[in-house]
A = this chain, B = another copy of it.
Amino acid sequence: MTRPPGIPAAIDTPDILIDLDILERNIARMAESVRAKGLTLRPHAKTHKIPEIAALQLEAGAVGLTVATIGEAEVFAAAGVKDLFIAYPLWTSARKAERLRRLADTATVTVGVDSPEGAARLGAGLGPAASRVGVLVEIDSGHHRSGVHPGAAADVAQAASDAGLEVAGIFTFPGHSYAPGMPAEAAAQEQEALRAAAESLAAAGFEATVRSGGSTPTALLTDGPVATEVRPGVYVFGDAQQLELGRCEPEEIALTVAATVVSHHKARSGMPERFIVDAGSKILGSDRPAWASGFGRLMDYPAARITALSEHHATVEWHGPGRMPALGARLRVVPNHVCLAINLVDSAAVISAGEIKGRWTVAARGKNA
């Protein structure tokens, strides 16, 4: 594991650091890989929520952004992004429909739908503006969250069309790719689901011009000719989950949480040595899938594991090699799931070659609705 430059002295812990050089490399690599396959890239901005990063992604060739909520779309539209896909089966209240109408005044807006009822409600809520909002029908490709069975895609498309919406195609999120050994299988299921759903649409007279897939674990595996677009998010930063899934290398981790060792404990009555750092679930997030080896990783101590996480404490059991980091030592924690970590801070420090270049505001933080 290479040792990227450490934590600048002006950083008080805990704080989030974004390594600009690694970030730019991650953005370029995904853009090139997707372009080489003849696919379009529509990164999911829920991962970073930062307009400056969106601008880098668009400069590198992204066709637009994916977001999860109307609130996120509003933030990126206000920052000048012109093409936004809300990858979520919205159930539109009158106020949400009004917000979508306003969004459609400044950007090309596409919305997910996964039920005839949701499509009808969306169209009715938008009224005459429905023709200015496109929809993609969400397909379940094996994650079993939202999304219809591929064979039912045409029913949703028909309802959307009847409600005055433009049916642009289909999308799926192969979230079951987030498990060891699953990315390749999930990518294959994703392609089959998109194929079957496109066929369902074609049989009903709809052309699925957009066939969108791809999480970070599968994006580099996703290939034409079935998919036309991928929507990875986490690739910009990487995280401990991607590391443990083998989908990124330590050198590709662009976001870490700077932390300090605040408490130190010798081995005692069967318990190993342990230390506590001042980064807990309120800055790391507390996602921990069953297959993860802990609640995050320490960049400079690859053998160490975070065995417990409180709101402001991470407990690290120490089994070597070497001696525990000293009290007051500053170290970098890699969150398990980076999308949760960035959503816990108002801003993050931008670092290049060990120097602070400034801070970026997490402009879409907390935009849940």
Docked pose: A147 CA to B327 CA in angstroms: 14
Tell me whether A344 and B328 are in contact (CB under 8 A).
Answer: no
Tell me whether B278 and A328 are in contact (CB under 8 A).
Answer: no
Tell me whether A312 and B91 are in contact (CB under 8 A).
Answer: no
Tell me whether A69 and B312 are in contact (CB under 8 A).
Answer: yes
User: Contact mask A134-158 → B, CB, 8 Å, 1/0?
Assistant: 0000001000111101000000000
Is residue A2 within 8 Å, beta carbon to beta carbon, of the partner chain?
Answer: no
Tell me whether B315 and A344 are in contact (CB under 8 A).
Answer: no
**Nearest CB in chain B: distance from A94 CB, A:** 9
User: Contact mask A47-88 → B, CB, 8 Å, 1/0?
Assistant: 000000000000000000000110000000000000000001
Contacts known (A264-B115, A343-B344); A93 close to B368, Cβ less than 8 A = no
**Nearest CB in chain B: distance from A190 CB, A:** 16
**What residue of chain B has the Cβ atom nearest to residue A362's Cβ?**
B366
The stretch of A29-37, A282-290, A297-305 that contacts the partner chain? A282-290
Tell me whether A263 and B310 are in contact (CB under 8 A).
Answer: no
User: Contact mask A308-333 → B, CB, 8 Å, 1/0?
Assistant: 10111101000000000001100000
Docked pose: A219 CA to B69 CA in angstroms: 40
Docked pose: A253 CA to B311 CA in angstroms: 21
Main secondary structure of the interface of A (DSSP, over half): loop
Q: A339 to chain B: which residues have CB within 8 Å?
A: 311
Q: Determine the interface band of chain A, counting residues with CB < 8 A from chain B.
A: 35 or more
Docked pose: A114 CA to B278 CA in angstroms: 14
Is residue A95 within 8 Å, beta carbon to beta carbon, of the partner chain?
Answer: yes
Contacts known (A286-B287, A368-B282); A263 close to B343, Cβ less than 8 A = no
Tell me whether A366 and B340 are in contact (CB under 8 A).
Answer: no
Is residue A162 within 8 Å, beta carbon to beta carbon, of the partner chain?
Answer: no
**What residue of chain B has the Cβ atom nearest to residue A94's Cβ?**
B12
| Interface of A toward B, CB cutoff 8 Å | 12-15, 46, 68-69, 88-91, 93, 95-96, 114-115, 117-118, 121, 140, 144-147, 149, 175, 260-265, 268, 271, 274, 276, 278-279, 281-283, 285-288, 308, 310-313, 315, 327-328, 339-340, 343-346, 366, 368-369
